[in-house]
Structure 1
Amino acid sequence: MSPSRPKLCDKKLKSAEIKLLKILHKIDNMKLSNSYISRLMLPECKKPFISETFNQNITFYYLGIAVLIIIFTYWWIYPSFASERCTLEIPSTALTLFRPPEDCSMCDSVSQVARLGNLTPEEFERRFAYSPTPVIVTDATRHWKAIKEFNFNFFADFYRNGKMGNKINECFFFAYKSGLRSLGEVLSMDAARANLSGAPWYVGWSTCYDEETRRLRQYYDRPYFLPRTAESDTIDWIFMGGPGQGAHMHVDSVRRVSWQAQVRGRKRWQLAPPPECLYTCRALTLTVHPGEILVVDTNRWYHMTHVLPGDLSITIGAEYD
């Protein structure tokens, strides 16, 4: 075999890898849904050796198969690939391609989201804690200081003047469509935009410092209905923004089930079953009001949020095991 053959194969493989990553990143940046991509048509090809079936709708799963082939081929040719972190980083949109299919019994009997109060930890554990069935608990934030004190100015002062302590987790920031690049930019925006009179915005971030989490949790308690043996994560999530904004349809890749407390404003949630269950399960639409907590497995339910007209929306969330 010619010694130039491996180099030629390597060059072609790398070129294909770069082209595919460009496609995936464009899909991720444009926030195209899987359902939209599945309706795209391949251009007609006049080459006789290509089957006519390639002119039919192509699903996003085929693109995922191509990614897997490239990854494993590269891995096989270069074993050191496995030990190099972030050599090939997959965009977040493509990650959903590699999740295992769901058993549709998770949602086939769910037709609405119950609103309940005065739940004991035992009843919550038996009915909802580790079940894919979502529920809204209406009375879990009655004594939270956050209900009265959390607003834009609270967080601006909290992060500008408070001590954050030691970093204990990775820090996450979600800009969505706001155009803001960091939490610092959010909290230093002009007064008109902060008061929802300027350009619309909606963002999310995670706590990642020990003092930050400890100080914030002085304003809200562990929800009373959680199982007594359940342990909360050290990360809390905050989502904040104005009417008309929210998160696009997606599914999470977090480790556990989560609770989402609506501290201010009203937020409409749309829950959709995974694609393999679309003909078995129903999509759900619900509104979470101030003081209510939604418990939902966002790793299994696809979800989209929309802040309703009125006040600034602030949501605090956390995972539990």
Structure 2
Amino acid sequence: MSMNKNVKPTRKLIAKEPHEMTHTEKLRLIDDELNAFYKYCQQAGFTEDEMDIICQPLVAAMRRSWLQLVFQATLVLITFGTLICLVAQLDFVGTHFSAIGRLLMIKFLPIWNWQPLYYENCMMNNPFYNDYAVTEEDCVACEALENIDRLSDVQYRQLVDNYLNRDAPAIIIDAMNSWTAMNTDFFWFDNITHLYLENERLMETVPCALTSNLRTGSSDLAAFLRRVHSPGVAKWFVHWQNCDINAVKVLRKYYQRPYFLSSAVSPAHFNWVLMSSDYNSPNYKRVELDSGLIALAQLRGATQLRLTPINPCNISCPELIADLHQGEILVFTNLIWNLEYAPVRGLDNIAILTETVWEEDI
């Protein structure tokens, strides 16, 4: 490919030295040079394809320069974000970050009202999830109930037909006779404390819900367990929900599938621990459960239970109150029931609650 040597690109004289020029002047000079080169190529008779080939090294160099700029900016942002996260692990820094963040969110309120989003369980709606609303027609299942039946040697089909599919709760009194935990002292609260404090995976997990009468200044479960492990702490209660998969799996090792449940029923997706020591209060403690099949197993001590009907069933259905003793399991579907409990005074009480996805056609 030959070039016309008689045609030369025009070049403006540089009035200033390069180090004396401003950034804008340098860009203008480069733009002038490129325009002059483009006109030169046109006058030389080059086609568009030939001009693309000629300019390819320049385009590749500019692309590499842009990618390097993006890479450097990303590296700076990652490094800065990592440093912020590390510094935020310090308690006093994290507290200040939290306070500043809350103040900023309050300042945003006139522009964006984020309060409804704060109280939602999910930030995004699942189009495949239909939240079932209880109606008065559902209340016929509980209006004739007077108490919670206590059963033994119950068959799965009998439990489903006579209780679960009718939203009627039941207490199975012989469901835990074969459990290893019932024949050892492993589940005393000292051992539960050791279980969490000595397991790195459990130490790193944060419960999705934790309620207690003890104030530790932190929502960290490990901080609470260290406190109750002290022999000087008395008269306390706590319940927390394990929703982290690591914590759920570890706790699964210490309870078994009850004999009255079919193997077709899926394993519990969440589990709870309920513990108390010599705690007495006239007020029941609410356990905020997801909908599904609920099983509460009393491992040590005793617990007084209260099942309260959900609105509108609270008009036509009674509250159900019963004592759950060591070795017994309360089982129910919580479509129309809220679960509340009160620890029995003078005892060390330990119970494990499981939440399982439940389909009536199982």
Q: TM-score, normalised by structure 2?
A: 0.56
Residue 249 of structure 1 contacts residue 302 of structure 1 at CA under 8 Å; is this kept in 2?
A: no
Aligned length: 231
Aligned to 1:155: 192
Q: CA deviation at 1:100?
A: 4.4
Alignment of 1:113-132 (within 5 A): 113-132=148-167
Counterpart check, 1:273 vs 2:309: yes
The one-letter code sitting in structure 2 at the alignment partner of 1:295 is V
Aligned equivalent of 2:293, options 243, 247, 257: 257
Residue 165 of structure 1 contacts residue 210 of structure 1 at CA under 8 Å; is this kept in 2?
A: no
Residue 171 of structure 2 contacts residue 329 of structure 2 at CA under 8 Å; is this kept in 1?
A: yes
Q: Which runs of 5+ in 1 are unaligned?
A: 1-77, 93-97
Q: Deviations over 1:242-293 (max 9, x none)?
A: 2315974647450312100011111101222234334422222100000100
CA distance in 2, matches of 1:209, 1:166: 11
The one-letter code sitting in structure 2 at the alignment partner of 1:151 is W
Change (3 A) 1:170 1:211: closer
Larger Rg: 2
Change (3 A) 1:249 1:210: closer
Change (3 A) 1:302 1:173: closer
Residue 264 of structure 1 contacts residue 315 of structure 1 at CA under 8 Å; is this kept in 2?
A: yes
The one-letter code sitting in structure 2 at the alignment partner of 1:207 is N
The one-letter code sitting in structure 1 at the alignment partner of 2:307 is L
Aligned to 2:265: 230
Change (3 A) 1:87 1:284: closer
Aligned CA RMSD, in angstroms, stands at 3.2
Q: CA deviation at 1:87?
A: 5.8
Change (3 A) 1:123 1:291: same
Residue 237 of structure 1 contacts residue 317 of structure 1 at CA under 8 Å; is this kept in 2?
A: yes
Aligned to 1:89: 118
Residue 246 of structure 1 contacts residue 305 of structure 1 at CA under 8 Å; is this kept in 2?
A: no
Q: CA deviation at 1:226?
A: 1.3
Change (3 A) 1:87 1:277: closer
Residue 164 of structure 1 contacts residue 209 of structure 1 at CA under 8 Å; is this kept in 2?
A: no
Counterpart check, 1:192 vs 2:270: no
Q: CA deviation at 1:117?
A: 0.8
Q: CA deviation at 1:91?
A: 8.4
CA distance in 1, matches of 2:328, 2:282: 18
Residue 202 of structure 1 contacts residue 246 of structure 1 at CA under 8 Å; is this kept in 2?
A: no
CA distance in 2, matches of 1:160, 1:171: 14
Residue 307 of structure 2 contacts residue 339 of structure 2 at CA under 8 Å; is this kept in 1?
A: yes
Q: CA deviation at 1:186?
A: 2.0
Once the two structures are aligned, what percentage of the paired residues are identical?
A: 23
Alignment of 1:51-70 (within 5 A): none
Q: Deviations over 1:18-41 (max 9, x none)?
A: xxxxxxxxxxxxxxxxxxxxxxxx
Q: CA deviation at 1:154?
A: 1.0
SS across alignment from 1:214? helix
SS across alignment from 2:247? helix
Residue 257 of structure 1 contacts residue 299 of structure 1 at CA under 8 Å; is this kept in 2?
A: no
CA distance in 1, matches of 2:206, 2:230: 30
SS across alignment from 1:232? coil
SS across alignment from 1:124? helix
SS across alignment from 1:140? coil
Residue 210 of structure 2 contacts residue 238 of structure 2 at CA under 8 Å; is this kept in 1?
A: yes
Q: CA deviation at 1:138?
A: 0.6
SS across alignment from 2:166? coil
The one-letter code sitting in structure 2 at the alignment partner of 1:270 is R
The one-letter code sitting in structure 2 at the alignment partner of 1:294 is L
Aligned to 1:301: 337
